[in-house]
Amino acid sequence: MATIPFPDTRVSRAWSRRRWLALAFLAASLALAAACAAAASPRGWAPPVVSQDQLFVSLEAGRLSAYAREGDGWRFLWRFPPQGNNNVRPQAFYGAPIVTDNAIYAGGYDGTVYAVDRAQGTLLWRFDTGGPIIAPLAFDPASGTVYAASDDGRVYALDAGNGSLRPGWPFRTGEGIWARPLLDGRTLYVASLDGRLYALDATSGSRLWDVEVGAGLISDPVLAGGTIVVGAADRRLYAVDVAQRALKWPAPPRAENWFWAEPLVVGDTAYAPNLDGTVYAVALNDGSVRWTFVAENPVRARPLLAGDVLVVVDREGVVYGLDAATGNEVWDSRPALLDRALADPIPFGDRVLLTTQNGGLFLLDPGSGQVQRITLPRP
């Protein structure tokens, strides 16, 4: 940075030493503010989970809270990690927590799998992986195993009781894993950023087979009728025939951006939102596009079928109600959550629960498209 000499003494005098100091401090403060504001920090997009009239939700980055239903309202139960505990810092949760009768399991962006006591919210055990956990966890109630896929490229099988690593695990892929491991019977399917879909023995962790899809696989895979549907970084939606262990569609549909949201498969149709802002309804048998709907903004959240209405939420929090058969809008207006929405909507009775990036929790009536904000009690 070159110094600019002042040609006139009057000007130099006007800029006293104090002013220069003030200017320098101002510049430093502005630069610091800009740097802090600009540097992205993980917020997470874990959808809430409702189980036995209890709500488990991450409305603050890296914190999980539990509430019990009381009449029309909610009563605060606990928060994890508790206030003032600086030893546990999950940073953010990207996947919905697994809720069992006794424990809650959640993967943190700090790379740790946390097991929390369901009643008290206390830490039962923790297991550190080698990278951030972005993929939601998978759980096998039969064997009591928690499966965690990490950005370090490995899949870990953990004993749900004590967090110990099962023999034969972890399984290593060629790149990070951002997609939820998909458990089907004794087979665990893993979609990796290395562009392969792996089928593993869920007990031993050994590889059964794999299919090279091409580009990195980023969406949570979904299995329906012997077909796994998954989105890839080459902007295509792929289908893998599990029996044939091969790609199914001759011409996978291609969009203008990534299919990051988990597709929703209902009947013979996969509803796949895309970051280009379009929702694609794709025929499962041949990959042909039945209809498309163009939202106002990119869509990262999985759609939800509530009754006959396909609920779609875009990144800027605009909510759409679509006719699942035609893709036509069914509501008179589009409710807006007025905040970024990246988390999947979840069913809540005959309603839909929606969360936003800055801690908003909303209840949607899919029949009318009316949205109501839920205010949870403060801890």
Partner 1 sequence: MSGSVQETVARAQGALGRRLPAILLGLIVVAIFATVQAGRDPWHTLFVDPLINFLVLFNNVLLGQFGLAIILFTVFMRLLTLPLTVRQFQSTKAMSAIQPKVQEIQKKYKDPKRRQEELMKLYREAGVNPLGCLMPMLIQFPVWIALYRALIVLVGGVPEAVVDLSQHLYPWPYLYSAIPLEQHFLWLNLGRPDTTFVLPILVGVTTYLQQKVSTTSSVATSPEQQQMNQTLNLMMPLMFTWFTLAVPSGLGLYWLVSNVISVGISYFVYGRRGIDWRRVLLPFPEPATTARGAGKPTSAKRGEHERRRRGKR
**Distance in Å, CB of 84 to partner 1, minimum:** 23
Total interface residues for partner 1 by CB under 8 A: 52
| Residue choice 93, 109, 147, 362 for contact with partner 1 (CB under 8 A) | 109
Cβ(265)–Cβ(224) below 8 Å:
yes
**Distance in Å, CB of 230 to partner 1, minimum:** 15
The Cα diameter of the chain in Å comes to 85
The kind and range of the H/E element at 173 are none
- Binding of partner 1 at residue 196 (CB under 8 A)? no
For residues 124 and 255, which CB has a smaller minimum distance to partner 1 in the complex? Answer: 255
Rounded to whole angstroms, the Cα distance separating 228 from 21 reads 63
- Binding of partner 1 at residue 243 (CB under 8 A)? no
- Binding of partner 1 at residue 233 (CB under 8 A)? yes
For residue 205, the Cα-to-chain-centroid distance in whole angstroms is 25
Binding positions for partner 1, 8-47, rule CB under 8 A: 8-10, 12-13, 15-17, 20-21, 24, 28, 31-32, 35-36, 38-43, 45
Please choose, from the candidates 294, 229, 231, 320, the residue with its C-alpha nearest in 3D space to the C-alpha of residue 268.
229
- Binding of partner 1 at residue 260 (CB under 8 A)? yes
* Measured CA distances, 200 to 53, 182, 298 (Å): 35, 10, 33
| Residue choice 103, 213, 275, 364 for contact with partner 1 (CB under 8 A) | 275
Please choose, from the candidates 136, 147, 228, the residue with its C-alpha nearest in 3D space to the C-alpha of residue 186.
147
Sheet bearing 319-323, strands edge to edge = 304-306, 309-313, 319-323
- Binding of partner 1 at residue 48 (CB under 8 A)? no
Could you list the residues that contact partner 1 (CB under 8 A)?
1-10, 12-13, 15-17, 20-21, 24, 28, 31-32, 35-36, 38-43, 45, 92, 94, 109, 134, 176, 178, 193, 215-216, 233-235, 256-258, 260, 275, 298, 300, 315, 342, 357
